[in-house]
Amino acid sequence: MNIKRQVPSTSFFDISKGPLWQNTTASRNINESIQENFYIYSEKQKIYKIKTLYLQGHFIFKKKKNGQNQIADILNATICEIELPFYGAGIRIIKAGQIIEIYGMTITWLQQLRFYCIQQDFANKYSIIRLLGKGTFGKVFKIKSRITQQDFAVKVFEKKAISNYQDYLLITKELQIIRSLNHPGITKFFETYENDEHIFLIYEMVEQGELYTFIKEKHLSEEEALLILKQLLQSLLYIHSKGILHRDLKPSNLLLRDRNTLSIAIADFGLAEFYRVDGKYIFTRCGTPGYVAPEVLQDKIYDYKIDIYSAGVILFMMLSGGKSPFNSTDPEEKLYQNYKSLIDYSLVSNISEATYNLLQSMLEPDNIKRISARAALNHQVFRNKRTSKCSIMIKKTPRSIDKITNPRVIINTNNNLDKYLQLSPKLQNLSSKPQNNMKQEAIRRGYQKMQTFSHRSPQLSPLQSQTKFEPFP
């Protein structure tokens, strides 16, 4: 049998070089692996031989007769199902121009490989039902499995819209992060496909729409808002314990599983990152104006607390019938309110003192003083059933930003990215307007952020911009 051993890599994900099989001295706990005997083609002897292989996560491990062990990292390799007369069903795994072909009992291996690798037959497996939403690179559709008839959601990226290394990193980082998360409060990821034009990320279908639409339709009670917040905090505790920051929490990225039980799931890990103490992220400036923590707009080093601030904005909106804590109708003003964390608490004046206290702790401008997910879950609102109504005097938001003296009165905008893009010419002309220096600086910085958020292509640090990346010359 003449099988071509070297293949040119056409996968968007395959940028690796070097031999797929590497010698290893690292001992692996074989008990934790999926072990299977497969027929594998022996280059030397030109025959198929039975070999025991071990699959652990995205690593295949094999023992050689000479005592030397070998390991292959098949993360983001392209896989396809194949068949040979006599040897039966098989899997072809392609990475860095090299192939591993295995024949035998492939079912359990396929289940795991689908999670870590890339498939190419999306159109054979799924039919598209309807559009659910539009994103920066592409669209999200409801789809149906042609095999099981089960519904899923697919996030489709257009390859032609991915023009540089940063965009490549955004997609691969989203994939890396969603593969590492498994929690009821997070949309479940299943598998990845690609064809010549598109990349497809398959998620569970969360049926009941965005929290954004829900809170605009229905004024939630304080208890309902707290029920949703508790789930959000539990998911954040889990995400943060994994060393991950979401960085784009907002009501349109929270999906309702059930409108009666108010169960929710966090979606869209497109801007998520692994926490770094030095704050040197590939994309430092990101989020959505109106939801983002002030330290992000202020270009300060940030940590997990940015997600708590955004969760605070979400709580505010749930308590205020969908109104933003940054209440200005002027987008520049709103951005400044966000920058300075100037929140108009008069919009949530009818809440209990305990809830008001939690809301304030989450929207605390100083991230050191801001409450953590764990501490918030221990807050008295989640311990006491009933608390007294808020008796705190809430100052009215001043009409003019120049009159702002009280730092408690503050913030936010819920404009989407497109609206921000439209704003850009106006913001560019700001310098002609008489502004105080602080405000000008806030708007200048905020405007830089808006560009960043809109295009998702911030400046790389000198170190990163030196990174060589061949698929996108």
Residue numbering of the annotated binding site: 155
- Closer residue to ligand ATP in complex, CB, 166/252: 252
* 337 φψ region: left (φ > 0), alpha (ψ -120 to 50), beta (else): alpha
Q: Could you give the CA distance from residue 155 to residue 272 in angstroms, rounded to a whole number?
A: 16
x-or-dash pattern for Mg ion, window 241-280, by CB under 5 A? Answer: ------------x--------------x------------
Residues 264-283 that bind ligand ATP (CB under 6 A): 267-268, 270
User: Residues at the annotated binding site for ATP?
Assistant: 155
Among Mg ion, ligand ATP, none, partner that 194 touches (CB below 5 to 8 angstroms by kind): none
Among ligand ATP, Mg ion, none, partner that 210 touches (CB below 5 to 8 angstroms by kind): ligand ATP
- Closer residue to ligand ATP in complex, CB, 171/293: 171
Residues that bind Mg ion (rule: CB under 5 A) add up to a total of 2
- For position 133 contacting ligand ATP by CB under 6 A, the verdict is yes
Among 225, 226, 229, 255, indicate the residue that binds ligand ATP (CB under 6 A): 255
- For position 367 contacting Mg ion by CB under 5 A, the verdict is no
x-or-dash pattern for ligand ATP, window 204-223, by CB under 6 A? Answer: xxx---x-------------
Catalytic residues: 248
- Closer residue to ligand ATP in complex, CB, 158/366: 158
- For position 167 contacting Mg ion by CB under 5 A, the verdict is no
Residues 71-130 that bind ligand ATP (CB under 6 A): none
Residues 137-166 that bind ligand ATP (CB under 6 A): 137, 140, 153, 155
Q: Could you give the CA distance from residue 308 to residue 7 in angstroms, rounded to a whole number?
A: 47
- For position 252 contacting ligand ATP by CB under 6 A, the verdict is yes
* Residue, CB closest to Mg ion: 268
Give, to the nearest 10 degrees, the angle between helix 417-428 and helix 331-340.
100
Contact 82, 116 (CB under 8 A): no
- Closer residue to Mg ion in complex, CB, 253/413: 253
Q: Which residues bind ligand ATP (CB under 6 A)?
A: 132-133, 135-137, 140, 153, 155, 187, 203-206, 210, 252-253, 255, 267-268, 270
